[in-house]
A and B are shown apart, each in its own frame.
Chain A
Amino acid sequence: MQTTIKLIASHAYLMGSEGQNGTQKVLENVLHLANDADPRSLELAGVERIELSFPKFSDGRAYSQAFLLRRRLGFKGEIRATGDVLIDQLVQMQRTGFDSAVLRADQDIAHAQRQFDRFHAFYQGDAVQTAPLFAEKAAA
């Protein structure tokens, strides 16, 4: 599958210089959401980015938060994964609606791309490709 999620090295995130040349504009209206919060309680008007957190990579609550934001609430801004973000979970993040991810410091971006190349499609629908495979086939 195509990689659409933007990968950010942790040092760049900490320095606030995310683009290759550090020229990306600084967003004004950024929300940090604790992973036990209900995204449906948020006022989303004007929010440019929502940062969701993975306190541990094995804590999967932010996947549901991202799904609800993107799919249910129709949030059009950026959804960013922060915290214990590892390359082996990037595909899931992209599928549930994240569009950027700040990788944990020790993660090797070189191995990340392979994870996206491996599967060309999945069975179930998600936040991006909303229809499941069987409905896609029926429509084709």
Chain B
Amino acid sequence: MYQYTDFDRQFVKQRAAQYRDQLERNLKGQLGDDEFRPLRLQNGWYIQRFAPMLRVAVPYGELSSAQLRVLAKIARDYDRKDENNLDKANPGLSDLNSLPSGVAHLTTRQNVQYNWIPLDKSADVMDLLASVNMHGIQTSGNCIRNITSDERAGIAVDEVADPRPFAEILRQWSTLHPEFAFLPRKFKIAITGAKEDRAATYWHDVGLHVIRNEDGDIGFRVIVGGGMGRTPVIGTVVREFLPWNQILNYLEAVVRVYNRWGRRDNLYKARIKILVKAEGARFTEEVEAEYQQILDVDGAPHTIDQTELDRVSAAFVPPALNCNRKDADAKIAHILRAAAEDDVEFGRWLQQNVAPHKNPDLRAVTLSFKRLGYAPGDATSDQLEGAAALADEFSAGEVRVTHDQNLVLPWVRCDQLPELWRAARKLGFARPNIRLLSDMITCPGGDFCALANARSLPVAQAITERYQDLDELHDLGEIDLHISGCINSCGHHHSGHIGILGVDKDGKEWYQVSLGGSDGSALSGAPVAGKVVGPSFAADEVADVIEAIIDTYRRERQTVQGSNETFIATVRRVGTEPFKLAANSMRTSTGKAVHVTETEAA
């Protein structure tokens, strides 16, 4: 992990002190709510239905066990429903009593969120975070947000180069950038160094791929203008190859053009994707012209020198770990033989939750936070401490927050897999469902979020309850189910093989279902937004609709060389018609009525 220098540590503390000053002025009436709003947002503080929400930055998803323990402490001591004055709450349709508290929530952008911290405690929480080099800098607001990356950065077998040193250099460059703190809208960057896109790079404002050119030099493919929301757009490649040391100069050009030209008259047209679409080639020309000026006139001040790259890279040297693979294989084979007699859970866990590693002696292990009784990606304080203990014992003290709202242990010795499995199982993290139907992406939805039109968590729960049988889940294979409570798309419904989107009509919750979306991974194919199957469904129809779609897949799928065609492959092959038919036959309360306006809106 990156090791904070004295400067870095001091900077985070100064930021916490600055926030305390702003909060105190706000509470004393010296700083108006409207003026305070973007300042608190740029520290991760939102006002939601019941209480503020805090989004803690986890740069490119990396956390140490010490940081996890502080996150656990915050969950325990501050994420408290009972300490909020709920008189002014706007509960919407949610059932206050059933909402979780005392938990941290893992997000699709690899951050961590809390839902119940009273605002007057917010500065204390920032100090606590700063004690382990953490903060909420630029996790919200119209600025360059926390930078995300591949959950297997630095360990993936298909990696050209470790993206983390670049992600860290980008983090530093974007932190409190004076020119880019009030952009037209938020600005999200994702970076990967692997061939497989585990970071949804084409869905970001900027996606970066670390690549090697024909001469063997390292550089970036630069993608600009992807995004979800009301207008899903796949990013455009604006540079096939940019030398690595020019990335800051180039991004300065991209963001400056966006800051100058991006629309500010309409919230829904303010993202860079709209600008890139509207201007087409002119956008890229302007960026290239601006970049040339930065090089020629400004003297390319942010050219990264080798010394800096080496300094930052030194922090990401892998821990020296090895194991006797032969012994490990024998041990695992023995357990698998024993397990075959009672259950096959360990084997399934090896298949779904354990991934190969750059170091053949090591494995990347995903701890599943998709289990019955918890919202997807929620972790209690005890569970966070449990994960910290697993990280210390099995993973060189490090975990990663994944885009899919789980935790990854990146440095697991192959001979320790059986012990880790047992320990993880005790903690409830060993459910072998990674990438399967119940490993769904879900936003907090209308239960917490004031923007949402409908709740996401009850839908996720209903589907999770229905698909508990591991035999069935494994038979269905890998399916991306993504649920968003509104068109802002925090639950990435556009990129799900099955997407569910909450919409609001007459103050009631309705859900649009879409099929065939892709995040851009090898399994899902070229990134694309899913297609809506028809008018929206009533809340009590959704789980039946999903089941009907799944049953249709089971009926339609082919067997290819002894294995089942995947869900997404079946949808691509047969088209959405049979699925639509099945989904629409599940209508009860919505009857067979067709709400034309809505299909058009999609």
Chain A interface (Cβ < 8 Å from any Cβ of B): 36, 38, 57-61, 63-65, 67, 71-72, 86, 88-89, 91-93, 95-96, 108, 111, 114-115, 118-119, 121-126, 130-135, 138
Contacts and interface: CB of A to CB of B under 8 A. Distances in A.
Q: Determine chain A's interface SS by DSSP, over half rule.
A: helix
B182 A135 contact: no
Given A60-B181, A64-B179, A88 B30 contact: no
B180 interface: yes
Contacts of B35: 57, 86, 88
4 nearest A-B pairs in the assembled complex, by CB-CB distance: A60-B182, A95-B178, A92-B178, A134-B308
B25 A124 contact: no
15 contacts: A57-B182, A61-B264, A63-B180, A63-B259, A88-B35, A91-B178, A93-B178, A118-B21, A119-B14, A123-B175, A124-B173, A132-B248, A134-B169, A134-B307, A134-B311
Nearest to B256: A64
A115 B39 CA distance: 13
Contacts of B598: none
B213 interface: no
Nearest to A126: B178
A108 B35 CA distance: 14
Interface string B158-198: 00000000000100111111111111000000000000000
Interface residues of B, number: 43
B301 A131 contact: yes
A130 B172 contact: no
B224 to A, nearest CB: 17
Interface in B13-38: 14, 17-18, 21-22, 25, 30-31, 35, 38
Nearest to B252: A124
Contacts of B180: 60, 63
A89 B31 CA distance: 13
Nearest to A62: B182
Most B CB within 10 A of own CB, among A92, A133, A134, A138: A134
A124 B251 CA distance: 13
A111 B178 CA distance: 19
A84 B425 CA distance: 56
Contacts of B297: 72
B256 A119 contact: no
A88 B22 contact: yes
Given A58-B142, A72-B298, A134-B304, A67 B175 contact: no
Nearest to B306: A138
Contacts of B25: 111
A114 B298 contact: no
A123 B144 CA distance: 14
B260 interface: yes
Contacts of A63: 178-182, 259
B11 interface: yes
Given A58-B38, A96-B178, A64 B259 contact: yes
B308 A138 contact: yes
A124 B297 CA distance: 18
Nearest to B302: A132
Contacts of A89: 181
Contacts of A96: 178-179
B128 to A, nearest CB: 19
A88 B18 CA distance: 10
A96 B259 CA distance: 14
B506 interface: no
Contacts of A124: 172-175, 177-178, 248, 302
Contact of B182 (A59, A118, A134, A138): A59
B523 to A, nearest CB: 38
Given A59-B264, A60-B179, A88-B22, A130 B259 contact: no
Interface in B218-267: 248, 256, 259-260, 264
A135 B177 CA distance: 16
Most A CB within 10 A of own CB, among B38, B256, B301: B301
A71 B38 CA distance: 27
B39 A88 contact: yes
Contact of A60 (B17, B176, B183, B304): B183
A89 B25 CA distance: 15
Interface string B284-325: 000000000100011101101101100100000000000000
A134 B305 contact: yes
Contacts of B260: 36, 38, 61, 64-65
Contacts of A115: 18
Contacts of A86: 35
A108 B30 contact: yes
A131 B183 CA distance: 23
B34 to A, nearest CB: 9
Contacts of B182: 57-60, 63
A67 B35 CA distance: 24
B477 to A, nearest CB: 45
Contacts of A92: 178-179, 181
B305 A135 contact: yes
Contact of B172 (A38, A72, A91, A123): A123
A58 B7 CA distance: 29
Given A59-B182, A88-B35, A96-B179, A135 B301 contact: yes
Contacts of A119: 11, 14, 18, 176
Given A58-B142, A121-B7, A132 B178 contact: no
A122 B183 CA distance: 19
A61 B259 contact: yes
A67 B179 CA distance: 8
Contact of A118 (B17, B173, B302): B17
Contact of B176 (A59, A114, A122, A132): A122
Contacts of B169: 134
B265 to A, nearest CB: 11
